[in-house]
Amino acid sequence: MLDHSQATAADQSAEAAASPRATPARRAVGVVHRNWPAAALLAVGLALRVLAELAYRPALFYIDSPRYLFNAEGMDPVGYKGPLVAILAVGNFDAVTAVQHLLGLAMAVAIYVLLRRRGVNRWLAALAMAPVLLDGYQLQSEQSIMPGTWFEALIVAGLVVLLWRPGAGWRRLLAAGVLLGASATMAQVGEALLLPAVFYVLVASGIAGDGWRQAIAKAVAMGAAFVLPIVAYMAGSQALSGAFALSHSGVTSLYGRMAAAADCATVRLPAAERGLCPTPAQQAEGSDWLEYNNGSPVRPYYSNPDRAATDAQLSDFNHRVLTQQPLRVLDAYGRDALKLYSVTRTTDPGDTPIWRWQFRTYYRYFPPHAGAAQVREWTDRWGGGTPAVWAPVASFLRSYQLDGGYTPGPLLALFTVTGLVGSLALLRRRARWAGSPESRQTALACLLFFTSAAAVLLVSDLFEYSWRYQLPALVTLVPAGVLGLSVLFRSRSRPA
């Protein structure tokens, strides 16, 4: 431990480095000195990303990767094609993953800086950035030609812009609305972020003392800014494909969930829809299989050239299962939602296999969508070299990821509780600590992160459970929980 004279010297050194007269290098040293826990985590996160880049060249490809390279058939929006094409125009697949790893680091820094601005101490703020820096599944996502990292980055950018200063300023809420709306072009579940953003604007305007007319005007402006990139995307889709739509999922996206939960022996269905009900063996395969596999009972219905009639049948089937057997659907949905808090990362029967998101000691292909021949053709066209694995580093990354290198479920459960408590602190206006401007701003930030996490995660689980869809928790639920902890610690130091 430092004695008093050493501590004083260290403080004076830090103050000197922070002085306006200090050189940029000395100021940088001062910043690192004052924020050394975050700097240490950032260094480890950078090292892990360098290892991922070296271990899997030039990138990892997944079943859906061809969609963003060639507009191949699929359900999700293809907004990821924008940054992907832009990077490949001047670089190769190595450059794509390098940019995505930089986005991972940038998200961590943005979360840390924002929380420090909202009064969170450096240790808690560093805790908030640790999961996105160190989680092995996040690393694997950044190394893949998939839109997950960009989806998370747009969420973080939107939330940080909105929370950068207290209150809901017009320019900030418009910019944040555009960023959050743009996330829906990467993953359609981003549409769910509209409600938390509008709710935050209303609450923040109320706390700031805005009149109800101005609060409503700001909420409407937020909504309009949010919708703008979505409408622009849909207009582009109309021009290119003739479909004014964000995606092609429609009513089919709920079929897997409803079919897996249905009790086909008792549900009442028209004769034309009876074939949509799976056998017990088919139900055991899970929602993902029921929605996409060629052996699913829904596949013969897709052969009908009248797609509108098929959509109507699927919609009616979903509605009948939901209204006749709501408890079965709710039970299946609730059990899936609670899997986020599991101690281990495993695949339950019927889940999308978790091995798809795990590092391998060899180069993994996904034929026929992303088989060896296809991937080699892509790397020949866009560069990056022959797909290869550096076995020793790949073995380390796999061991790291599988043997604890992920965000523990119990920690996420704690953050859920503290995030909820921190958000509800806004209701305790009579408590002296809750009524202080600093505490209110911390609780407001907690509210926005927590409701955003709830929206993205709960809506994702409506359709099917996949560990890949839980990654946004690292940049929403974790900061919410840390902000909630900060509110709770402040309540202990300032008793009512």
User: Mind giving me the DSSP string for 281-331?
Assistant: HHHTT-HHHHHH-TTSTTHHHHT-S-HHHHHHHHHHHHHHHHHH-HHHHHH
Distance linking the first and last C-alpha atoms of the chain: 35
∠ CA 91-92-93, nearest 5°, is 140
Q: What is the mean pLDDT of residues 231-250?
A: 79
Report which of residues 102 and 166 the model is more confident about.
102
Cα–Cα distances in angstroms (integers) from residue 271 to residues 261, 264, 274, 313, in the given order: 20, 13, 5, 11
Q: Using the predicted structure, report yes or no on whether residue 162 has a pLDDT greater than 70.
A: yes
Q: Using the predicted structure, report yes or no on whether residue 251 has a pLDDT greater than 50.
A: yes
Lowest model confidence (mean pLDDT) among 19-23, 176-180, 429-433? 429-433
Query: H-type helices in 57-121, by residue range?
Result: 65-70, 81-90, 93-117
Q: What is the mean pLDDT of residues 235-246?
A: 79
Q: Provide CB contacts within 8 A for 312, sequence distance 6+.
A: none
Whole-number pLDDT of residue 261? 94
Whole-number pLDDT of residue 210? 81
Q: Using the predicted structure, report yes or no on whether residue 38 has a pLDDT greater than 90.
A: yes
Which tens digits make up the pLDDT trace of 73-91?
556 788 999 999 999 999 9
* Both structure tokens of 494: 């300032």
Dihedral sign, Cα of residue 194, residue 199, residue 201, residue 204 = negative
Cα–Cα distances in angstroms (integers) from residue 210 to residues 221, 265, 385, in the given order: 15, 57, 58
Containing 388, the helix (H) or strand (E) segment is: strand 388-389
Lowest model confidence (mean pLDDT) among 217-221, 384-388, 429-433, 444-448? 429-433
State the DSSP code for 35: T
Half-sphere exposure of 350 (CA within 13 A, CB side): 20
Cis status, amide bond into 278, omega within 30 of 0: no
Residue-range domain boundaries for the chain: 250-339, 407-496
Q: Which neighbouring-strand residues pair with 56? A: 389
Q: Using the predicted structure, report yes or no on whether residue 328 has a pLDDT greater than 60.
A: yes
Lowest model confidence (mean pLDDT) among 17-21, 204-208, 249-253, 278-282? 17-21
Q: Using the predicted structure, report yes or no on whether residue 350 has a pLDDT greater than 90.
A: no
pTM, two decimals, is: 0.91
Whole-number pLDDT of residue 386? 93
Which tens digits make up the pLDDT trace of 279-301?
999 999 998 899 888 899 998 98
Q: Quick one: what percent of the chain has pLDDT higher than 70?
A: 91
Whole-number pLDDT of residue 28? 79
Whole-number pLDDT of residue 491? 73
Q: Using the predicted structure, report yes or no on whether residue 267 has a pLDDT greater than 70.
A: yes
Single out the residue of 284, 243, 257 nearest to residue 75, CA to CA. 243
Whole-number pLDDT of residue 433? 45
∠ CA 15-19-20, nearest 5°, is 165
Q: Quick one: what percent of the chain has pLDDT higher than 90?
A: 71
Which tens digits make up the pLDDT trace of 402-412?
999 999 999 99
Whole-number pLDDT of residue 237? 81
Identity of the highest mean pLDDT range in 25-34, 424-433, 480-489? 480-489
Burial 379-418 (b: 16+ CB within 10 A, else e): beebebeebebeeebbebbbebbbeebbbebeebbebbeb
Dihedral sign, Cα of residue 298, residue 300, residue 305, residue 306 = negative
Q: What is the mean pLDDT of residues 417-443?
A: 78
Q: Using the predicted structure, report yes or no on whether residue 459 has a pLDDT greater than 90.
A: yes
* Both structure tokens of 248: 């092609």
Q: Using the predicted structure, report yes or no on whether residue 13 has a pLDDT greater than 60.
A: no
If you average pLDDT over every residue of the chain, what do you get? 89
Q: Are 370 and 59 in contact (CB under 8 A)?
A: no
Residue type, 421: V
Lowest model confidence (mean pLDDT) among 206-210, 229-233, 425-429, 464-468? 425-429
Burial 157-170 (b: 16+ CB within 10 A, else e): bbbbbbbbebbbbe
Cis status, amide bond into 58, omega within 30 of 0: yes
Q: Which neighbouring-strand residues pair with 370? A: 366
Q: Are 159 and 456 in contact (CB under 8 A)?
A: no
Q: What is the mean pLDDT of residues 340-365?
A: 91
Report which of residues 374 and 252 the model is more confident about.
374
Is 6 exposed, middle or buried, given 0-12, 13-18 or 19+ CB atoms closer than 10 A? exposed
Distance (Å, whole) CA 405 – CA 136? 5
Which tens digits make up the pLDDT trace of 366-408?
998 899 999 999 999 999 999 999 999 999 999 999 999 999 9
Distance (Å, whole) CA 327 – CA 384? 51
Q: What is the mean pLDDT of residues 202-207?
A: 88
Whole-number pLDDT of residue 74? 58
Residue type, 355: W
